[in-house]
Every structure is written in C-alpha cells, then in structure tokens.
Amino acid sequence: MITIETAPIAGQKAGTSGLRRKTRDFMEPRFLENYIQSILNAIGGAKGKTFVIGGDGRYFNADAIQTILRMAAAQGADAAIVGQNGLLSTPAASHLIRLNKTDGGFILSASHNPGGIDEDFGLKFNMPNGGPATEAVTNEIFAQTQNLTSYQTMESPAVDLATRGQTSLGDMAITIVDPVADYAALMQDLFDFDAIRSLFEGGFRMAFDAMHAITGPYATTILEDTLAAPKGTVRNGIPLPDFGGGHPDPNPIWAKELMQTMMADDAPDFGAASDGDGDRNMIVGRGAYVTPSDSLAVIAAHAHRAPGYAKGLAGVARSMPTSAAVDRVAAAKGMGCFETPTGWKFFGTLLDAGKVNLCGEESAGTGSDHVREKDGLWAVLMWLNIIASTGQSVADLMTDHWQTYGRNYYSRHDYEAVDSAIANTLMDDLRAKLPTLPGQTVAGLTVSGADEFAYDDPVDGSHTSGQGIRVMFDAGARVVLRLSGTGTQGATIRVYLERLEEDPGKLHQDAETALADVINAANQIAEIADRTGRAAPDVKT
Ligand code: G6P
Ligand code: ZN
C-alpha cells in the first residue's frame, strides 16, 4: 500500500445521480482518486468489504475501474465482482449488488450524456440494497472531499478485465463475470418469456435501438437469442466508447432514427430504446409515441399480467414533475401512491419498506422492486408482456387507457445552457411571488395553488426541500419549474406542463396544441422568454 498526499478539489459534489464532469476533469491528476477515497472514507473504509464494479463502457471506463480496484485492494477490500471488459448496465450492477449481498458498488457512467474524451464521465456509489447512495451518504462523501489530505493505493499492472473467472489483486479476490447472465435470469423470473416468444414466433416485429450503448449485449441476448426476435431487431447493439458520437438518450429528439422507423407506413409493431447505462427507456408503438408518464400509468394498470407481479401492486411512486396519470390508476385500483423529489434515490426507502413496487419518472425511468435502479430493458419486457397478454397494439392500449382514466396531456420544455445567474434569479423571483399567485387568472387559467415542493420521507423521516416550483390551475392543469441536477454546462431550466382531459372526444390531440394555454401561462408567470432571451425551448419532449 502506498499513501499519496493530496488536497481537496473544489466542487466534487454529486448531482442528481453521482458525480458527473467532463471526462478530462476526471482524468486530471488526483481527481478520480480523491473522489474514490472520499467515498471509501464516507462508508467507513474498504476493509473486509466486497464491491461490484462496472460501467457503461464510455471512454475512460476501463482506466477508472483499474484505479478503483487498486485503491480498494490497497485498503483491504475482500473481493470485487467486475463485469467482463468493465461493462455493467446500471440495473445489472444493482442486481449483482443485491444477488451477491455485497457492500455496494461503483458504477461508472454519465448516463445519457455523450461520451468521449471531450464529453462526459461520471461515478456513483450504490449501497448494499443496490440503490444509489442516500442524501446522507452523498453529503458525507462531499464533506470528505473537502477535508481530504491523502489517499491509499498500490502499484500494480492492470488487471485483465477481458477474461471471465477468478483473479486477484494483492489480497483482494476478483471475479470477472458475464455482465448479462444473472440479469437475464432475473428477467426470465419476472416475465412470461413463453408468451413473448410466441408473439415473436407469430411474426410480431420490433425495433430496439441500443444507441451504441450498454444495452446492446443485454438486448441481443434476451430479445434475439432467448425470445426469438428476428436477427436485426437490436440496432446499434455494439457498445462504443463515444456511443458513435451520439447522445444516448432515449427520447424522440435523440432517438430520431427510431422515431422515423416507427412513424413510417411499414413500421414494426413495437419500438424501444435505452440510454447510455441502460436504466432509461423509450416506448413507441406503430405511429404512437408513449410518454414516460403514460407508460408508468399503463404499466400500473396492467402489471398483474406479468408473472412477477401477478399478486398486484402494493403501491406506486412517481417523481413530483411526472404527470398524475399514474395517480388515477392508483386511485381506481386502491393502490398506495407516493410523490417524491426527482431522482431515483428517493424511491429506495419506499421500495425497501414494501410500500411500493412500481416507480417511474418523466425523465424516461421506470422500474420496480426487482432492483433499486430504474431499468430500461425491464420496462421494454413489461410492455412486451402486456402486449402478448392483451393481444393489443400500443396504440389501442393507449386509447383504452385514456378512455378509462382520462388523458394527462404532458410535455417538458428544456432551456439548456442558460447562464446560471439568470436561471437562479428567475427561480428566486418566481419563488418570491408564489404567495400572490393563487386566485389570479393567467392565459385563461385560474391558479388554484402554488408552492415549492418539499418532501418528508414517510419511511426514514428525512426532509428534503427546494425540489421544484409548482403552480396548480383549476381543472387538473399544472406547471412545474426546476433546474436540472444533471447538466455539466450552465443551468438547464425544465418546464413541465400538464393538463387533464376527460372528454372522450378530445383524447387524440397533439400534446403541444392541447397544452397551449398551459404553455402561455408558464411563460407569463415565469417570464422565461424575457429573462433568458430564448424565444422557444431548446428541447421539447
Ligand atoms: C437522473 C436520475 C433520475 C432523474 C434525472 C433528473 O437521470 O437518475 O432519477 O429523474 O436524473 O435529471 P435532471 O437533469 O432533471 O435533474
Ligand atoms: Zn441512465
């Protein structure tokens, strides 16, 4: 073991999901080492512990893993379980942490952000329950980064990550595992693979876009090799360090090719995509894009069709900016329903306590209590199971759903790379005028309430404040504004727009059209165009 003197590096504060920075920042001397040491200090050291280690394969993935292995071995860790070639999707890592009853894991990813030496990199620590570190732990990690004076490592040649099986580093045992096998077995337990296989054997056609990212090998093994989907169902299925120069974010903007495929006359029956690290998902039928909020609601309504959920759901949870579509299903079916701050980590206590077994976010995350992360392929398999069991197309499922529960028209408008001072002032001024809003009529809509969302965790009692500004209008319309916690440049203002429609004759409008009044009201209340100088959002999803 060698001890290297260091000094705190400013700003090593985790965002919504771990520490994300430009890759070159992570490659600066001591940057990665300082953060790893701060994690190890915060969790009471590495001694005697077993960790799962893997990432989404982006540039610097393997180098960072070698550094973690050396530091963990030098500091007395017992064992490490590492995905072959350093690869593990985030949900697969969460599963391995739980399956092997380990002390947690290091996941290397900047999720849906582009990869490469000039793009983004990230590192997060997950807890023994398989979920992202809690606020208390991330705060402690940050405190450690501010007081660090040294770190411990060792000198050694690089560990061979390519060969499966047992190896070691110093006294630490290392197992290099097939990244897919255990995860695929878990999926087989949860879903009716026979029914889905029959669907494909009957000629059902699907396009899955892995976006040159981590789900390629998982989707190929599960969809093509196990479920008999035709070869070529999985597109862009080889993970690349720069994701082919793309933005591996599964939404209609970044998964444009898939959208074009699915909107064409000869579209396959079903389309789906996942992100850089495999935890997000996009669902699209022939000519029918499904918003993440609607997807969550449909899954809540039909999950009992999958063998792993046959007993029905105890409860569901959604992040606050996610639409209330799932709330309507929960109310109709008598399930518990929880509204949490943005970030998957807030679902952990509810899942551990058995209060909920389905969770979802507008940011394209859906998952259940099978792991403690959102899970892209899980959502895709759930939809396939629902389609196989109902025999209905995606478009018909959506129509039925809206007729039963009403439609929560929904859209998110993002203003990216806004000057941070301007964004903060916009939020501060809006916060200041919240008490004056109720009763006012803006763009024809009457404000029924306005607040800044805060959350009291019903399981561990923790309090989290400052989680986004909400303005509620009569008739089930709502505007939410918050600043992104995952950006790496300036500030991103997210404006979440929603309106409930229950008129059976008005369930098939274009969302932007149906939301026109809500969009106008948001602009007037928050003065977005005036303050940012932007006439329109950069991205609408
Ligand atoms: C990550 C987290 C999600 C969260 C999202 C929000 O993807 O894993 O749980 O919903 O960030 O991102 P934002 O940029 O809106 O803070
Ligand atoms: Zn992700």
In terms of Cβ atoms closer than 10 Å to its own Cβ (0-12, 13-18, 19+), residue 186 is: buried
| Statement: residue 501 has pLDDT above 80 | yes
What pLDDT band is residue 489 in, cutting at 50, 70 and 90?
confident
pLDDT, residue 475, reads 83
Contact present, 53 and 146 (Cβ < 8 Å): no
Q: Answer whether 61 contacts ligand 1 (Cβ < 6 A).
A: no
**In Å, how far are 86, 138, 163, 374, 469 from 61, measured between CA atoms?**
7, 22, 17, 21, 36
How far is Cα 170 from Cα 226, in angstroms, rounded to an integer?
Answer: 39
Residues 423-432: what's their mean pLDDT? 96
Q: What percent of the chain stands above pLDDT 90? A: 95
Query: How far does residue 166's CA lie from ligand 1's centre (Å)?
Result: 36
Q: Tell me the per-residue pLDDT of 181-202, one tens digit each, with 9 for 90 and over.
A: 999 999 999 999 999 999 999 9
Q: Answer whether 361 contacts ligand 1 (Cβ < 6 A).
A: yes
Q: What percent of the chain stands above pLDDT 70? A: 100
Residues 137-155: what's their mean pLDDT? 97
Query: How far does residue 276's CA lie from ligand 2's centre (Å)?
Result: 6
Which atom of ligand 1 is the closest one to the Cα of 345? 9
Which atom of ligand 1 is the closest one to the Cα of 280? 7
Which atom of ligand 1 is the closest one to the Cα of 486? 14
| Statement: residue 495 has pLDDT above 90 | yes
Ligand nearest to the CA of 18: 1
Kindly state which CATH superfamily the domain 183-405 is placed in: Alpha-D-Glucose-1,6-Bisphosphate, subunit A, domain 3 (3.40.120.10)
- End-to-end CA, the chain: 50
Contact present, 129 and 352 (Cβ < 8 Å): yes
Residues 259-270: what's their mean pLDDT? 97
pLDDT, residue 17, reads 81
Query: How far does residue 73's CA lie from ligand 2's centre (Å)?
Result: 28
| Statement: residue 310 has pLDDT above 80 | yes
Residues 139-149: what's their mean pLDDT? 97
ipTM of the shown complex: 0.97
Residues 326-330: what's their mean pLDDT? 98
Q: Which of 255, 247, 12 is nearest to 140 (CA)?
A: 12
Query: How far does residue 159's CA lie from ligand 2's centre (Å)?
Result: 27
Q: Answer whether 86 contacts ligand 1 (Cβ < 6 A).
A: no
| Statement: residue 345 has pLDDT above 90 | no
How far is Cα 101 from Cα 171, in angstroms, rounded to an integer?
Answer: 20
Q: Answer whether 278 contacts ligand 1 (Cβ < 6 A).
A: no
Query: How far does residue 452's CA lie from ligand 2's centre (Å)?
Result: 26
| Statement: residue 486 has pLDDT above 90 | no
Query: Residues of CATH 3.40.120.10 domain(s) within the chain?
Result: 2-177, 183-405
Which of 17, 345, 372 for a ligand 1 pocket mutation test, highest count of atoms within 8 Å of Cβ?
Answer: 17
Q: Answer whether 204 contacts ligand 1 (Cβ < 6 A).
A: no
| Statement: residue 235 has pLDDT above 90 | yes
Architecture of domain 408-540: 2-Layer Sandwich (3.30)
pLDDT, residue 399, reads 98
| Candidate from 189-193, 453-457, 459-463 with smallest mean pLDDT | 459-463
**From the CB of residue 508, how many other CB atoms can be counted at a distance below 10 Å?**
12
- 7: DSSP letter: -
| Statement: residue 176 has pLDDT above 70 | yes
The residue whose CA is least distant from atom 9 of ligand 1 is: 343
C-alpha R_g of the chain: 23
The residue whose CA is least distant from atom 2 of ligand 1 is: 343
Ligand nearest to the CA of 124: 1
| Statement: residue 16 has pLDDT above 80 | no
pLDDT, residue 185, reads 98
Half-sphere exposure of 355 (CA within 13 A, CB side): 16
Q: Answer whether 145 contacts ligand 1 (Cβ < 6 A).
A: no
Residues 255-273: what's their mean pLDDT? 97
Q: Top-level CATH class of 2-177?
A: alpha beta
pLDDT, residue 485, reads 84
In terms of Cβ atoms closer than 10 Å to its own Cβ (0-12, 13-18, 19+), residue 7 is: exposed
Ligand nearest to the CA of 211: 2
What pLDDT band is residue 134 in, cutting at 50, 70 and 90?
confident
Burial profile 411-433: b = 16 or more Cβ within 10 angstroms, e = fewer: bbbbbbebeeebbeebbeebeee
pLDDT, residue 493, reads 96
Q: Answer whether 111 contacts ligand 1 (Cβ < 6 A).
A: yes
Q: Tell me the per-residue pLDDT of 514-533, one tens digit each, with 9 for 90 and over.
A: 999 999 999 999 999 999 99
The DSSP element (H or E) to which 262 belongs, if any, is helix 256-263
Residues 410-423: what's their mean pLDDT? 95
Number of helices (H), then strands (E), belonging to the chain: the values are: 18, 27
Q: Average pLDDT of the chain? A: 96
How far is Cα 280 from Cα 292, in angstroms, rounded to an integer?
Answer: 10
Active site residues: 111
| Candidate from 81-95, 198-212, 361-375, 486-500 with smallest mean pLDDT | 486-500
pLDDT, residue 463, reads 93
Query: Residues of CATH 3.30.310.50 domain(s) within the chain?
Result: 408-540
Ligand nearest to the CA of 278: 2
What pLDDT band is residue 48 in, cutting at 50, 70 and 90?
very high
Residues 365-381: what's their mean pLDDT? 98
pLDDT, residue 488, reads 67
Which atom of ligand 1 is the closest one to the Cα of 279? 8
For residue 184, give both structure tokens: 């695929």
For residue 172, give both structure tokens: 């630490």
Q: Answer whether 484 contacts ligand 1 (Cβ < 6 A).
A: yes
Residues 245-268: what's their mean pLDDT? 95
What are the residues whose beta carbon lies below 5 Å from ligand 2 (ion)?
111, 275, 277, 279-280
Q: Answer whether 275 contacts ligand 1 (Cβ < 6 A).
A: no
What is the three-class DSSP state of 398?
helix
Residues 107-132: what's their mean pLDDT? 96
